[in-house]
Amino acid sequence: MSDHDTDDQIEDLPLDALPLDAWHRGRGARMVPFAGYEMPIQYEGIVAEHNWTRENAGLFDVSHMGQLLLSGPDCDAAVEAVLPIDLSTLKLGQQRYSLLLDEDGGVLDDLMISRWPDALYLVVNGATKWDDIGTLREALPDDITLNHLDEHALLALQGPKAADALARHVPGVEALTFMKFGKFKLAGHDVTIARAGYTGEDGFEISLPAAPAAEVADLLCAEPEVKPIGLGARDSLRLEAGLPLYGHDMSPETSPIEAGLVFGINKRRRTEGGFHGADRIIREINEGTARKWVGLCIEGRLPAREGAEVFSGSDRIGTVTSGGFSPTLGAPIAMAYVASQYAATGTALEVEVRGKRLAATVSPTPFVPHRYFRGS
Amino acid sequence: MRYFTDEHEWIDVDGDVATVGITDYAQGQLGDIVFVELPAVGTAIQQGKDAAVVESVKAASDVYAPIDGEVTETNPALEEDPSLVNSAPEGEGWFFKMTIGNAAQLDALMDEAGYKAFIDSL
């Protein structure tokens, strides 16, 4: 018996330990290499953790992600020369999704950006953070300060009961709505909390100094609604939510327009341009793309995974970029790039797994509805 | 008599028929199993070569033939309920039955005590 794939294993580099490394091991986590760190893939089991998060609240350690602060004179203009964002509409206390593109419009990373009182705060992917820092440092003027918060941890508390559990320790946090953030005290420590996440559920992302991270994780997991959740369930949750994973669903070889991420190109920038890759992006917005990223529901129980080819009759028309078994739906689901004429919802296609053709139907995403808190 | 491989398959020999599955240790490593792809009855399988594929939520893994032989029967219950491999890996969650093409190959496998010592060393 042996595993087919060794996704995300960076085998040549020594692995670093995250601030909560010992905490995870103490709670029985199975640790695997991911993004250059040893990270918890699961505690009690992926399906149990997945379902717990959909029904209660799960605590995810995402401290591998890069937390960056940008500040300096004319910082907004400097950042707008790189990212396709309209910072004039990003108010204090707001967070927004954006993209780091190369000069050809390929995706170098996707990220969250929010406006702090005296800086812009970015959360970027763990596997790409060092390259992102290099790209930003090179693209931004010298008088813009880039501060990597590498002594900070990042914890995500996700699920329908996350607000109840967190509000017991952070009174007032329940008033935040989706994609808003604030500065709070948690167990006496200064933390920044955003109402956001990567599961499709309501939830929060808590940025805090590394030193008290284990204390805070213990405190939250002592709440009856909260259990620690590993990367395995994080992946199945985000797949059900139809959310792309950098390095799999997006790369320098894909454009955000193909990936359906046009909302990451803010409206003013679609006409004005002036960001990395603008020529291609604006052309694709106006003229469309040859392929599109779509959801597939697959018949039977056999999952189609990354790399599986998609067919219409005998024509190979696409490739799966993320796929697996949906615990919520009890069926295999996948995301794939397909030629645009096959991208309409309901289109009957086939996916090939180990020589077998599986019936697949182009499906709307998210596969499982988002339950973000946008205000009562 | 039950034998074990270092790839975490078990093979239970009863007369001239053997039953094959994966061990409790293996199912624990794989996690939640959602699909098992079994060989067709009549397939000739070779020791150490692919015989079945088990899909967990996380990944697909090959299951190897513990000895040479021919598949005579597959477990119909796994189609309906692949999680039997998690709940009863060394019982109801068996994969397939096979002929014993080369009995000498069994001698090189581990017995239960040997396998237990092997996984304790991992």
Whether residue A351 contacts residue A304, with contact meaning beta carbons closer than 8 Å, is answered with: yes
Which chain A residues are Cβ-neighbours of B63 within 8 angstroms? 1
How many residue pairs from chains A and B have C-beta atoms closer than 8 A? 65
Q: Write down the ipTM of this complex.
A: 0.86
Note whether residue B33 is domain-resident. yes
- Determine whether the interchain pair B37/A302 forms a contact, defined as Cβ–Cβ distance below 8 Å: yes
pLDDT tens digit string along B47-104? 999 999 999 998 899 999 999 999 999 999 999 999 999 999 999 999 999 999 999 9
- Determine whether the interchain pair A303/B60 forms a contact, defined as Cβ–Cβ distance below 8 Å: yes
Could you say which of B35, B37, B61 has the minimum Cβ distance to residue A2?
A: B61
pLDDT of residue A12: 56
Instruction: Name the residue in chain A with its Cα closest to that of B79.
Output: A301
Amino acid in the structure at residue A281? I
Q: Which domain holds residue B39?
A: 2-114
Note whether residue A266 is domain-resident. no
Which chain A residues are Cβ-neighbours of B27 within 8 angstroms? none
pLDDT of residue A15: 84
Note whether residue B121 is domain-resident. no
Residue A1 has pLDDT above 80, yes or no: no
Residues of B contacting chain A (CB within 8 angstroms): 7-9, 22, 26, 30-32, 34-35, 37, 53-64, 82
pLDDT tens digit string along A268-304? 999 999 999 999 999 999 999 999 999 999 999 999 9
- Determine whether the interchain pair B31/A232 forms a contact, defined as Cβ–Cβ distance below 8 Å: yes
Note whether residue A5 is domain-resident. no
Whether residue A18 contacts residue A38, with contact meaning beta carbons closer than 8 Å, is answered with: yes
pLDDT tens digit string along A300-328? 999 999 999 999 999 999 999 999 999 99
Q: Could you tell me if A234 and A311 lie in one domain?
A: no
Residue A16 has pLDDT above 90, yes or no: no
Note whether residue A227 is domain-resident. yes
pLDDT of residue A10: 46
Looking up residue B92, the CATH number of its domain turns out to be 2.40.50.100
Shortest CA gap B31–chain A (Å): 6
pLDDT of residue A338: 98
Instruction: Name the residue in chain B with its Cα closest to that of A30.
Output: B29
Note whether residue A50 is domain-resident. yes
Q: What is the rounded average pLDDT for all residues in chain A?
A: 95
* Structural domain count, chain A: 2
Q: Could you tell me if A155 and A30 lie in one domain?
A: yes
Q: Could you tell me if A58 and A168 lie in one domain?
A: yes
Q: Two tokens at A249? A: 């669903």
pLDDT of residue A56: 98
pLDDT tens digit string along A21-40? 999 999 999 999 999 999 99
Q: Could you tell me if A224 and A306 lie in one domain?
A: no
Shortest CA gap A101–chain B (Å): 30
Note whether residue B120 is domain-resident. no
- Which residues pair with residue A350 across a beta bridge? A311, A359
Which chain A residues are Cβ-neighbours of B38 within 8 angstroms? none
Burial of A366 (0-12, 13-18, 19+ CB in 10 A): middle
Which chain B residues are Cβ-neighbours of A45 within 8 angstroms? 31-32
Q: How far is residue A275's CA from residue A10's CA, in Å, rounded to a whole number?
A: 31
Could you say which of B22, B34, B61 has the minimum Cβ distance to residue A325?
A: B34
pLDDT tens digit string along A36-51? 999 999 999 999 999 9
Shortest CA gap B16–chain A (Å): 24
Which chain A residues are Cβ-neighbours of B51 within 8 angstroms? none
Q: Could you tell me if A226 and A328 lie in one domain?
A: no
Chain A contact probe: residue of B23, B34, B87 with most A CBs at under 10 A:
B34
Q: Report the side by side order of strands in the sheet with A152-158.
A: A181-186, A189-194, A203-209, A152-158, A57-61, A226-228
What pTM was computed for the model?
0.93
- Determine whether the interchain pair B31/A354 forms a contact, defined as Cβ–Cβ distance below 8 Å: no
Instruction: Return the number of other C-beta atoms located less than 10 Å from residue B81's C-beta.
Output: 14
Note whether residue A11 is domain-resident. no
**Please, which pLDDT band fits residue A7 given cuts at 50, 70 and 90?**
very low
**Please, which pLDDT band fits residue A200 given cuts at 50, 70 and 90?**
very high
Q: How far is residue A111's CA from residue A304's CA, in Å, rounded to a whole number?
A: 27
Q: Which domain holds residue A178?
A: 16-63+151-240
Residues of A contacting chain B (CB within 8 angstroms): 1-5, 7, 41-42, 45-48, 50, 232, 236, 301-303, 305, 324-325, 327, 332, 354
Q: How far is residue A203's CA from residue A241's CA, in Å, rounded to a whole number?
A: 14
Among candidate residues A240, A272, A307, the one where a domain is terminated: A240
Q: Two tokens at A226? A: 């909260």
Backbone angles phi, psi at A164, to 5 degrees: -60, -45
* Cβ contacts of A290 within 8 Å, gap of 6 or more: A339, A340
Counted residue by residue, chain B has a size of 122
Q: How far is residue A232's CA from residue B78's CA, in Å, rounded to a whole number?
A: 23
- Determine whether the interchain pair A305/B34 forms a contact, defined as Cβ–Cβ distance below 8 Å: no
Taking the CA atoms of A136, A138, A142 and A148 in sequence, report the sign of the dihedral they define: positive
| Mean pLDDT of all residues in A340-369 | 97
* Cβ contacts of A116 within 8 Å, gap of 6 or more: A69, A92, A192
Burial of A236 (0-12, 13-18, 19+ CB in 10 A): buried
* Structural domain count, chain B: 1
Per DSSP bridges, beta strands B2-4 and A356-363 are: unpaired
